[in-house]
Amino acid sequence: MKKALKISGIVLLIVLALLIALPYAFKGQIKDMVKQFINENLNAQVEFSDVSLSFIKSFPKAHVSVSDLVITNFEPFKDETFVTSKNIALTMSIKELFKTSGEEPIVVNSITVDETLLTLKTDKFGNTNFDIAKKDKETMPSETASSSGGFSFDIEKYSINNSALAYIDEGSKTTIHISELNHEGKGIFSAETSELDTKSEAHITFTIDSSTYLSNNYIKLDALIGLDLKNSKYTFKENKGFINKLPLEFHGYVQQLENGQEIDITFENPETSFKNFLALVPEDYSKNIEGVQTTGDFNVKGVIKGVSSEKTIPTLNISITSNNASFKYPDLPKRVENITINTAVKNTTGNVDDTYIDIKALNFKIDSDVFKSSATLKNITKNMLVNAHIDGILNLTNLTKVYPVELENTLTGTLKGNINTAFDMKAIETNAYERIKNSGSASINDFVFSSEDIVNPIHISEAHMAFNPNTVALSNFKARTGNSDLNATGTIKNLLGFLLSDNTLQGYFNVNSTSFKVSDFMSEEDTATTDSDITQDTESLKIPQFLDCTINANAKTVLYDNLNLKDVKGTLIIKDQKATLKNMTSNLFDGTLAISGDVSTKSETPTFNLSLGADGFDIAQSFKSLELLRNLAPIAKLIQGKLNTSINLAGSLDNEFTPELSSVSGNALTELLATKIDANQGELFNKLEGSLGFIDFNKLDLKDLKTKLEFANGKVSVKPFQLKYEDITIDVSGSHGFDKNLDYSAIFNVPAKYLGSDVNQLIGKINDDEAKKISIPVTANIGGSYLTPKVKTDLTSGVKNLTNQLIEIEKQKLLNQGKGKVKDLISGVIGGNKTKTDSIKKEQNSSVKDVLGGLIGSNKTQADSTKADTTKDAVKNVLGGLLSGKKKKD
């Protein structure tokens, strides 16, 4: 006995070892078998990481699995993925592995598919991505499938685990997404008649032409299906399905025909409680409905009968009804009652375009507020025709008191409406207003909206809209947020197009406000300040793409940052993510401001292009409050008086809609009116007065001063302009940066009377009118920065210029005297008085030498040298004293 057991154990171990080892011997053959099947049967690119064989997993059958399968389409869906699967496993008799001729089909007994994504697609030309099976030209019609090689299926069981399917039809704009799909079936497919026991569950989303009919709804189906394989007929015997938690029972059959499928199915919900209606709503929205109190009934019945083919669909007659129903959630204070639902989905012809939805009634009541509605939807698959009527009152506060809806923001207010509308969807999309028929009115009162995105809640005290065939008239709109108030009227052209399609919201509005504070409409993040140097990347504000409107604005006061604008009037046009200002005027800084131009947020970085006109601005106020003006002319804040200016500028905006100074370019023309300088407040004027003692900047005459500026790349260039101090003219030009660095030149043309007594005595000795008009240029070069300026004066050129002028005047004077004596000499020669002539000539030569020698030092005697040095020293000493700030009293 022991020996027999020992032998049996050894044999068992040998068999087990063979079962483990043999798959490695067959692995190459299995791979070749799979590749051969793919190459012979599919027009697609197929890849997989491995093929494995086991005699243990499904003993006594063989277990073959393919890992990481990817099938990619050829044209016209080139490089699009058709199937991905983590694992596909087949079981079969071991003898099927030895069919190597390729002529006999390999019989498969079970299939398991894990984590598979299948995408079925039909493009707008009717091409399908799933038609990848090769057409076997060599197979004659009389030959059977059993003699054509490949696989044959004698399925006993199959399963699909944790998989997904997507169906996309671009022609009909239909999409079906099935996720979390788990399906299994057991049956015998080899017999002519048998039964298939299936269990299925998944989540489904179903959309036609942007209208979603199911949104991630949970479905479940346990079905016993009779199989008549000879007649290709499949009969539903015992079936119960669920849409969310709504139970439905199915009866009928589906039979395969040459031109499609014949369908004859009826279904209904076995329970008639109104709680079944709540069961239709996804649980994420309806929450737990087990404790909900309901009254009334709810019925779903349907008949689907006819042929489904390329040209027809089965006829439909599906009804959804409820009468005098109500529901109340246990944790909420209010009840929804008097619920009436009478809806039908029908198709009586089999033509898909004749399918329509008829909502005869969808009514309910909350407290004393009654809401009634009805609608018909026809031609659903093409250009849907809508005819609807809404009449009722809805208190928004009650929404969260009757239904467990979680709103991000609290809503309050009362909506009232009595509206009729009729349109087709293409009319909405193309703004064909003649095909849109609206009538009735709607209003809202005491509507309060709050959000984390805005600082203050928006309170609409009242708003009234009248619906006309082509437009919606906003006859009254009163709102307040923070310290701001709005009062508007206007017209809206395509409200339905905006609500039901991707169209823009077109309108024309007149908006009035007594106080409009811009910060009331900004988010807390925009208005908050912090001492931290840490900055966060935030998206730039964007002008909504859906807006296409014109706004005529009139505001008594507009508060923006530190600006207080009065009597703001103008037109704002918003279109294509661009805001255009036209004829915008305001009273600001005791003057008038005019603005025109645009701001665009279409590109990633917002841009602006504006023209600003200021008339009679108070200079000190404006340059203190406006950063742009401070950067254009930082010195101007020391000027008191009035300003006229026109500025054209363009550039980029940062995330808070503030100009990025490094990007700003443009020009400005400025005129100063009745102004004076408070020079004691500026370091630059202190430095200038320290170097130029003959001028008092507080007495500069800036009246009617005009100058032109050009700016780009963070630098402001000032075109040459002239200032006046009493009878001194000052020529100024240069540039400065937005970083406050200075590069200026100021040339002071100083008359002789400011040069001190020594120079004036010297000029008096010349005794010439031209000498008394002499002025010298003194150049001041200004560098450094506005806060720490550096001033350098050029004295050498002034001294040289003065010397040259005095020499030229005296030279001309002596030459003129010489001409007179020459005349006398000629007269003497003619008269024979030679002695007198010689005397005059000698005196002439001596006078010229003395003066020229004294001024320019040629042919110097000691006396002449002393005279010349005295003249030059007098000029240098006086100029040196003046330019160093030591004033001489004449």
Contact 647, 666 (CB under 8 A): yes
Contact 696, 720 (CB under 8 A): no
pLDDT at 798: 65
One-letter-per-residue 3-state SS of 182-235:
EEEEEECCCCCEEEEEEEEEEEEEEEECCEEEEEEEEEEEEEEEEEECCCCEEE
Contact 217, 244 (CB under 8 A): yes
* pLDDT at 837 exceeding the cut of 70: no
Domain ranges of the chain: 17-134+149-171, 244-398, 757-883
pLDDT at 374: 96
pLDDT: is 734 or 101 the higher one?
734
* pLDDT at 16 exceeding the cut of 50: no
Summarize pLDDT for 382-395 with one digit per residue, the tens. 888 999 999 999 99
pLDDT: is 269 or 826 the higher one?
269
* pLDDT at 437 exceeding the cut of 50: yes
pLDDT: is 208 or 6 the higher one?
208
Summarize pLDDT for 548-586 with one digit per residue, the tens. 999 999 999 988 777 788 999 999 998 998 989 999 999
Summarize pLDDT for 751-799 with one digit per residue, the tens. 877 766 666 666 666 666 666 667 778 888 999 888 888 888 876 666 6
pLDDT mean across residues, the chain: 78
Q: Residue for token digits 């030498």?
A: 849
Q: In the predicted model, what is the mean pLDDT of residues 82-108?
A: 73
pLDDT at 885: 42
3-state secondary structure of 385: strand
211 bridge partner residues: 208
Mean pLDDT is lowest, of 34-48, 309-323, 338-352, for 34-48
pLDDT at 890: 38
Q: Residue for token digits 């698959």?
A: 381
Mean pLDDT is lowest, of 239-248, 259-268, 421-430, 859-868, for 859-868
The whole-angstrom separation of Cα 51 and Cα 69 is 10
Summarize pLDDT for 409-434 with one digit per residue, the tens. 778 899 999 999 999 988 887 878 78
pTM, two decimals, is 0.62
Instruction: Indicate the pLDDT class of residue 15, thresholds 50, 70 and 90.
Output: very low
pLDDT at 529: 43
The whole-angstrom separation of Cα 212 and Cα 589 is 57
Mean pLDDT is lowest, of 151-155, 255-259, 659-663, 875-879, for 875-879
Summarize pLDDT for 470-519 with one digit per residue, the tens. 789 999 999 998 899 999 999 988 887 777 777 788 899 999 999 988 77
Token pair, residue 465, equals: 């809209």
Summarize pLDDT for 187-209 with one digit per residue, the tens. 776 667 888 888 999 999 888 77
* pLDDT at 50 exceeding the cut of 60: yes
- In DSSP notation, 83-150 reads EEEEEEEEEE-GGGGG--SSSSPEEEEEEEEEEEEEEEEE-TTS-BTT--BPP-TT--TTS-GGGS-S
Summarize pLDDT for 115-138 with one digit per residue, the tens. 999 898 888 888 888 877 776 544
Instruction: Indicate the pLDDT class of residue 43, thresholds 50, 70 and 90.
Output: confident
pLDDT at 430: 82
* pLDDT at 736 exceeding the cut of 80: yes
Most trustworthy range by pLDDT among 340-344, 767-771, 873-877: 340-344
Instruction: Indicate the pLDDT class of residue 862, thresholds 50, 70 and 90.
Output: very low
Token pair, residue 392, equals: 């009722």
pLDDT at 568: 94
Summarize pLDDT for 612-636 with one digit per residue, the tens. 898 988 877 787 777 777 787 777 7
